[in-house]
Structure 1
Amino acid sequence: MKHYEQDKDFMKHVGHLIDHPRFQKLDGIVQHHHSTRLEHSINVAYTSYKIAKKLGWDAKATARGGLLHDMFYYDWRDTKFTKGHAWTHPRIAVRNARKITTLNKKEEDIILKHMWGATIAPPRYKEGYIVTMVDKYWAVKEAATPFRKIIRKGKLFHRRLLNDRH
């Protein structure tokens, strides 16, 4: 069982969405070179949810908006999609999300504005800022996976070398 699956409140809010066949299609799509779009979306949703819950903000809307923020099915690195992707994919994600659930205004805004920084309009709700920042955090973390492995391997090698000397 994955760590987020053990969180009953989180799963109450988004478990049915994670299990939905349209959402499961994201599992076959590479997101940041070393993760699928499904993994990325769950990472963003769960991390954002925990932050919102800790702050006493709307954790349910944060989890749902975070989960559905990248619900699109094309490869954004393909040159025909690159131009305008930051503006276009949130709108596609909202349309796709509406096919599997009813969104409230806050959830829609979280999805539509999660690219703030690359786009002009900032989130209308404080929960949107959480998802925006957590999305960037996970994008960097996922893209840096091979570098983290190299660094970890180097530290282990260095530790072994020091232990062998003693």
Structure 2
Amino acid sequence: MTENWRDDEEYVSYIEDLLATDEVQRLANYTQHMNSTRLEHSISVSYNSYKLAKQFNGDARATARAGLLHDLFYYDWRTTKFDEGSHAYMHPRIAVKNAEKITDLSDLERDIIIKHMWGATITPPKYKEGYIVTMVDKYCAIKEAAVPLVDRFNSYKARLKKEWN
């Protein structure tokens, strides 16, 4: 589903300026959910959220841009700890600050980024686009972590079946 994002001219027009920045490209240097980079994850969240925003008459541009920037931070979330709060609370705030260094954020984009961890944090999104990015982020995280594990399990199961026959 996400593989075809480059062929979607409208989507690319919304995010190409962000993708051209070193700040966004640096996300390729960080593992996100075991089997993907933070950049791959962010593009997946962005593109899938953009498509849903279009389907539900939301602001597709803001959704695409905020989806791409929602995890714009540069540390290993598994090991870095904060005195101010959990990673779920801190990284959206860091992402907003980092995003504001490379682009002007609308109130909608800021709300989407800050509240995309709703469920792990208390305050829900203010806009439907925020709910879209929140849910797509969870979906992508599960898919990125689980699909390779399921594939490995199925390979193992097939190998065992072959050995038993």
- TM-score between the two structures when normalised by the length of structure 1: 0.88
**Corresponding residue of 2:108:** 106
**Corresponding residue of 1:150:** 152
Aligned-CA RMSD value: 2.0
Contact 2:81 2:87 in 1 (8 A): no
Percent identity reads 56
Question: 2:20 matched to 1:12?
Answer: no
The 3-state SS of whatever aligns with 2:102 is coil
Contact 2:53 2:60 in 1 (8 A): yes
Can you give the 5+ residue segments of structure 1 that lack an aligned partner in the other structure? 162-166
Question: Which runs of at least 4 in structure 1 moved beyond 3 Å after TM superposition?
Answer: 151-155
Shift of 1:152: 5.0
**Corresponding residue of 1:116:** 118
The 3-state SS of whatever aligns with 2:81 is helix
**Corresponding residue of 1:62:** 63
Once the two structures are superposed, residues 57-99 of structure 1 have per-residue CA deviations (whole angstroms, 9 ceiling, x without a partner) of: 1111110111100000010100535951111100000000011
- TM-score between the two structures when normalised by the length of structure 2: 0.89
Once the two structures are superposed, residues 12-64 of structure 1 have per-residue CA deviations (whole angstroms, 9 ceiling, x without a partner) of: 10011112111000001001111000000000000000011111111111101
Distance in 2, Cα, partners of 1:126 & 1:6: 26
Contact 1:34 1:145 in 2 (8 A): no
Distance in 1, Cα, partners of 2:39 & 2:80: 22
**Corresponding residue of 2:142:** 140
Contact 2:70 2:113 in 1 (8 A): yes
The 3-state SS of whatever aligns with 1:76 is coil
- What amino acid maps onto 1:104 in structure 2? S
